[in-house]
Amino acid sequence: MLTQMNVRGLLFDPYNNAYIVVLRDEHRSDVLPIWVGKSEASAIGFALENISPPRPTTHDLMKSMLDNVDAKILSAVVTDLKDNTYYAKIHLWYGDSEYSVDARPSDAIALALRAEAPIFTAETVLRKQRSEELERWLETVKPEDFGKLDT
Amino acid sequence: MSVGQNTDLILLKVLGVTDDPNTDTQIVILRDEANADILPIWMGPTEGTAIRYALEDTVLPRPTSHDLMASLLTHLGITMTHVVVTNVQDNTYYAMIYLCSNGRERTVDARPSDAIALALRAKCPIYVTQDVLKNGGGANVTTWLAKLGQQAHGQTETQDDSPKTSQQTED
């Protein structure tokens, strides 16, 4: 069972000196925070804000290579959560076949946003991450924290 | 291409990645086969790390962005034949990635950092045009390299490089 997610925005997590990509389902009932590094966060941030630097970023290159060979990104799916690590798959269409490639969610999301492809999360992932610790952490997030990096 | 430009391709070897002690950037040092010219390319820490991992054959538990890119190509049966550092303008280097998909050659514009990080993963050759090598590996670079202390050279070395690397770098 897959749930379609929207990228709600990016947050800075000062405790871990990392960024959090906040995904939320269409009905706004589930939130999936994914911790990512700085460069992964900016790859997602650029896509959210439609920023195109003068030279292609790594994810711009990824997209342009796929465009060049007429490969189409169908979707990005966050497939699993194990030991605090999220797993994702990128689904592509190339030639007359479908392919799926293992990726980190940060890369999968950065690529899906550039390709305007939908992002999904497996139901099991949403269930697994509803741990108390995360809930508690999210309660400490103030609305203004969202405002800073929201698009 | 205007008359007089030399776009002959020269094969480059990646010597290593070093921290630029003067800025928060990293330098990838490339050298031609004849060991006559050095081409240093400045890049951000993320890009430098991507190249360092490839040089050291470091495989992380989860794929990096460049691992993913290489894996996308492999999955789709697309071959990366070679990459070329094609141009330098206002201190910005330009590169081109050559792909072969279903027998057709395709070229993709890229930053040299991405092109090199990918070429190392795909184990395909890295070239530079004669012009870029002459313009980029000029006297100013030699001066800059001379200013680097022994300590900085030590960082240049990657584990799988030959022990002679740092000695050759100072030639």
pLDDT means over runs of 10, chain B (171 residues): 71 94 89 86 93 95 96 96 93 94 94 98 96 70 59 46 37 33
**Alpha-carbon separation of residue A8 from A44, A111, A119, B117, B149 (angstroms):** 11, 16, 12, 31, 48
User: Residue A103: which domain range?
Assistant: 2-149
| Contact by Cβ (8 Å): B93, B132 | yes
CB–CB contacts below 8 A, A to B: 77
pLDDT for the residue numbered B169? 36
User: Residue B101: which domain range?
Assistant: 9-169
- Both tokens of A76, joined, read 């990005």
Specify the DSSP element, H or E, that contains B58. none
Complex ipTM value: 0.86
- Cα separation, A116 vs A85, in Å, equals 25
Mean of the pLDDT values across residues A33-61? 94
For residue B1, being part of any structural domain is answered with no
The CATH number linked to A42 is 3.10.690.10
Provide the number of structural domains found in chain A: 1
For residue B143, being part of any structural domain is answered with yes
pLDDT for the residue numbered B21? 82
pLDDT for the residue numbered B75? 97
CB contact under 8 A, A92 and B76: yes
| Contact by Cβ (8 Å): A128, A8 | no
pLDDT for the residue numbered A70? 95
pLDDT for the residue numbered A128? 83
- Cα separation, B114 vs B108, in Å, equals 11
pLDDT for the residue numbered B6? 76
CB atoms within 10 A of CB B29: 20
Sign of the Cα pseudo-torsion (A55, A58, A64, A69, in order): positive
For residue B37, being part of any structural domain is answered with yes
CB contact under 8 A, A71 and B76: yes
For residue B116, being part of any structural domain is answered with yes
Which residue type does A89 have?
A: K
pLDDT for the residue numbered B164? 37
The CATH number linked to B90 is 3.10.690.10
pLDDT for the residue numbered A140? 75
Provide the number of structural domains found in chain B: 1
| Contact by Cβ (8 Å): A69, B76 | yes
- Cα separation, A28 vs A38, in Å, equals 26
Does residue A120 sit in helix, strand or coil? strand
pLDDT band at A94 (very low <50, low <70, confident <90, very high): very high
CB contact under 8 A, A61 and B111: yes
- pLDDT beyond 60 at A78: yes
Q: Name A62's Cβ contacts closer than 8 Å, sequence gap at least 6.
A: A107, A111, A114, B65, B68, B69, B72
CB contact residues (below 8 A), chain A span 70-109, against chain B: 71, 85, 87, 90, 92, 94-95, 99, 101-104, 107
